[in-house]
Amino acid sequence: MGVTLAKIRQNLVLHGTVANKGIAFGKLSFVKRADIGHEKKEIKNTKAECARFEKARLHAITQLGALYDASLEKLGEQNAVVFQIHQMMLEDPDYVSSIKDVITKEHSNAEYAVTVVAQKFEKQFLEMDNDYMRGRAADIVDISRRINEILMMHDGILNNKGISYNHEGSVVLAADDLVPSETVQLDQKAVAGIVTSKGSNRSHTAIFARTMGIPTIVCVGDSLTEDLEGHFVIVDGNSGRIYVDPDNETIERFSEIKKTDDVQNSHLEEFRGKPTLTRSGNKINLFANSGSLADLELIKASDAEGIGLFRSEYIFMQASDYPTEEEQYEIYKKVLETMGDKKVIIRTLDIGADKTAEYFMLKQEQNPAMGLRAVRLCLANRALFKTQLRALYRASAFGNLSIMIPMITSVDEVIETKQIIREIKRELDEQELQYKDDVEFGIMIETPAAAIISDELAQHVDFFSIGTNDLTQFTLAVDRQNADLENYLNPYHHAVVKLIENTIINGHLAGIWVGICGELASDEKFLGKLIQLGVDEMSVVPSSVLSLRAKIATLG
């Protein structure tokens, strides 16, 4: 029977989503968590049970404070801050009152109430359209599991020993998902790779894995079964494949790939701290994309020359109500202070289409990608727009800020936005609040209309940033969210390239710089064409910075 199983398993290949690149070898070691009883028990004294929950909740907050302190050196402040966020989540009135309501109304034990509420909140996050927000489901699971473990420790049922490894030597850790507190406590000497059946490549766990340099594949699905415990695997973090019990030929092939990767990574380090120059000496500004404060340490570690796209909508998507001017100001200020003299381009609110928040109460649209979103939504809600722009200008005193407006289709939209900015500056002057008067003002070119009239638009702005993702879908009339149309979504289509070329030519004729912040910016197959067209700046995922800098050095 054992021989038969070995034959079946040999060269089995599992498939998932890459969360961090790299090659890893090791025996699969499934995370063994304590069996926490969530069965419902009838409680007569619900007041005492609520107090029992409250004691565990406060204990969890204390634990998270210690975990934050321990994580600072390992992950950096911008990643460790997740544990402060977890503390805030444990103080969220909706979460706390929901648990106490279940205890009181159903006369249930605290463990059951915590589990029921966690499942409800987790489901809400997982049903969201945005990858980043889906990644927050793991945070709910983490804080809820923490409370239940504390409840059981207080009862003497459970000893908290953390994750143990079932095999000697290097292991590939396997789980349904890992929560942030588990990931940060991993022994990097023992854990060569991570594979999960669920998860998200935008979760804190994925971010931590990238920071720690652990090859990681998520979303493997039901094929990642516990009967694979102890089997030797190769994690190919470049393709998203996991090879189970590979033959000698496969092992040798990936050993050579890993050696090559290690040499290449060593070679890439030669470009750290150096400007991004083409072979002929033409300077390209190589920036990184960011979606939150948690990305900043990763961006700094990547050696990016600045932030080319800070997606401000995630501030709104993580909030339960409209963020105030002060709340936004503190976030923008933190970003600018962290980046020092480096340029930070913050995109104004781009809510709509696949990104939304319930409190906006947006109407259902037949075609939301082309509906009330981005600058259209902001100009239709001037108070909302003014609040964000005031926060941005106030924060400008603390760094090198550029402001970028998305989804522009006309000169009128630019003129109206600049009029609002003039009003804000007058208000700030009257209130004697500091700001920089020379903040760069730019727009995104992501509609064919904007690309076609880029000669007119260039007269009113300091820079263009071409959003190739939306530009491609609008030019080709292909919904990029529709997997059935993937073959039609061709970013190399001649029409798309012509619009990019037209935009760069018109920008340069007007004396402004032109950048790229869509997926094409990190596409090495198209890099030579972008250099040939004369692009001045590229904004990419942090992990691509050094490899693109090295590639650009061989071009032009």
Residues in the chain, overall count: 556
From the list 160, 167, 226, the residue with the least C-alpha distance to 191 is: 167
Crossing angle for the helix pair 46-75 and 110-126, to the nearest 10 degrees:
50
> Long-range contacts of range 157-165, CB-CB < 8 Å, 24 or more positions apart?
157/37, 158/34, 158/36, 163/31, 164/32, 165/29, 165/190, 165/191
Question: Is 219 considered catalytic here?
Answer: no
Active site residue 167: no
DSSP-derived secondary structure letter, 358 = G
Active-site hit among 50, 219, 378, 517: 517
Query: Is residue 235 a contact partner of residue 242, using CB atoms and an 8 Å limit?
Result: yes
Helix, strand, coil percentages (3-state) for the chain, rounded to 5, are: 55, 15, 30
Residue at token pair 């998860």: 199
332, with CB counted inside 10 A (0-12, 13-18, 19+), is buried
Closest CA to 293 of 254, 349, 231, 336: 336
Give the DSSP per-residue string, 457-523.
Answer: HGGG-SEEEE-HHHHHHHHHT--TT-GGGGGG--TT-HHHHHHHHHHHHHHHHTT-EEEE-SGGGG-
Catalytic residue of the set 86, 204, 219, 378: 204
Active site residues: 204, 517
